[in-house]
Structure 1
Amino acid sequence: MTSIILESIVLSFALAFPATLIAIVANRASHTQLPASSQRWAIGIFITLLGVWFAAAVLLAKANLFTLPTEAPQVPRLILLLLGGSLTVWVLANFTAAGRAILQATDQSVFMGLQILRVIGFVFLVGWAMGPVPWEFAMPAGLGDIATGILAVFAYKAARSNASNARALIIRVHILGLLDFVAAIGTGVLTSNGYFHLLSTDAPNIVDHYPLVLVPAFFVPLFLTAHILSIQKMLAEGKKMKTVAA
């Protein structure tokens, strides 16, 4: 019963989140000077990437290939997919003509709107309440995600209205959101079977098993990329403002 509930929550989000991302990319592409054919290609490539990525994540998860290694110095496959997925999206956004145009047309309110969806972290609290997820992981990971999502609401509103405190709120979202990832990954490793399993040794975490493993294998890399691209734009805009002022 617990597995069914957790799977339902994760898979529901797995439908809603990519659909939201695709809609955003399509909308932002329409605000560029790209030809219609280039827009379609960009959207098609993004849809294909998400589809292949998610399918691979599900297959690997069900084959238990994301379980943490029990001997050092093996690198967890889950970390490789997390970083590799994030890097792939970042490369497409920065090193393709369509990606750069779409990124240029994407303002900070869009990035903050995406971070609102971080409230999906409540699934870890559900897992804790139902038993299989240890509190040492669920509390920092779940509450950190929820806090990031709530703070992102205020940053989104400020960015939309060009409020004077928008930049400060956006920076806070990035700080909290990235620290949350560090805490979640750290406590996830410490509570799961593996060579760093130091916490909850009597009841190992199931975050490296299907369905919860889809969160770090698929959702987290996309949220991480949104952080990186947003920070990148902030730095570029700050540099431009200094150049104009000079």
Structure 2
Amino acid sequence: MTRKIVPVGPVLLGIWFTIALVISASGLLYEVPAPVMGAINGLLITVSLLTIYFVQPIRSWVMNLDLRWLILYHFVRFVGIAFLVLHAQGIIPSEFAIIAGWGDVAVAVTAIATVGFALPITTVPRWWMVLLWNLFGLTDILYVLKTGIGLGLNNPEQMIWITTFPFSLLPTFIVPLIIVTHILIFIRLWQLRLPLRTHDLLASQ
């Protein structure tokens, strides 16, 4: 009987999510200052990338993961709809809700188009389509983070909602993984450069 090997990556993701869920639901993050929430984001991103780089089984799993799944994760950014609804209810400031709401929805919608029209990446135009989407998505999330931290510094009451459950899952799991997947997509695109060039050169002969 062959022993079934459980992929380490999904297990660690499950553990990470469980820990984030417990901490968020416990209320431990309530009223944590915006700079600290930003630092939590940065720490989780750094730990994730270092783990991928130094732990071979995880690196192997990530580098062989279908690019489609890295992009499909960004469907989670339809959470932008919730931002717009909460803004209409007066819970979230417009300075954050408009940028994060419409920006995230746009990234999620274009992720659908990217998966449908650019994958698998077999031509240079498809490669560029994925690259441009990834640049757009990363720029959006970084600007949202900057805006949120800035608002929290100027008036902590404006961003206190993000320290309440379930929104506290954003800085403890959802957003760090968004940024990590963007970085991984860039790495995968870099790896595809030479094979694509070789493929196109042979196809033109």
TM-score tier after normalising by the smaller chain length: 0.7 to 0.9
**Is residue 210 of structure 1 aligned with residue 170 of structure 2?**
no
Q: Which residue of 1 is the match for residue 71 of structure 2? A: 112
- 1:235 Cα offset (Å): 1.2
**Is residue 102 of structure 1 aligned with residue 61 of structure 2?**
yes
Alpha-carbon contact 1:145-1:180 (below 8 Å) kept? yes
Secondary structure of 2:33's partner?
coil
Q: Which residue of 2 is the match for residue 66 of structure 1? A: 32
Q: Which residue of 2 is the match for residue 55 of structure 1? A: 22
Q: Which residue of 2 is the match for residue 236 of structure 1? A: 191
Letter in 2 for 1:214: L
Q: Distance in 2 between matches of 1:223 and 1:183?
A: 13
Superposed, which structure 2 residues align to 1:20-99 within 5 Å?
36-37=4-5, 39-59=6-26, 61-68=27-34, 76-99=35-58
Secondary structure of 1:36's partner?
coil
CA change 1:42–1:231 in 2 (3 A) is closer
Aligned partner (choices 124, 127, 147) of residue 83 of structure 2 = 124
Alpha-carbon contact 1:119-1:146 (below 8 Å) kept? yes
- 1:83-137 alpha-carbon deviations (Å, 9 max, x no partner): 1222222233332221122123213222221123211121111110111111111
Q: Which has the higher contact order (CA 8 A, sep 6+)?
A: 2
CA change 1:238–1:162 in 2 (3 A) is closer
Higher helix share: 2
Alpha-carbon contact 2:9-2:62 (below 8 Å) kept? no
- 1:232 Cα offset (Å): 1.0
Alpha-carbon contact 1:191-1:205 (below 8 Å) kept? yes
- 1:214 Cα offset (Å): 2.5
- 1:241 Cα offset (Å): 5.3
CA change 1:166–1:66 in 2 (3 A) is farther
Secondary structure of 2:163's partner?
coil
Q: Which residue of 2 is the match for residue 12 of structure 1? A: none
| TM-score, with structure 1 as normaliser | 0.69
RMSD, aligned α-carbons: 2.7
CA change 1:229–1:41 in 2 (3 A) is closer
Aligned partner (choices 99, 103, 113) of residue 140 of structure 1 = 99
Alpha-carbon contact 2:24-2:164 (below 8 Å) kept? no
| TM-score, with structure 2 as normaliser | 0.81
Alpha-carbon contact 1:188-1:205 (below 8 Å) kept? yes
Structure 2: segments with no counterpart, 5+ residues: none
Aligned residues: 196
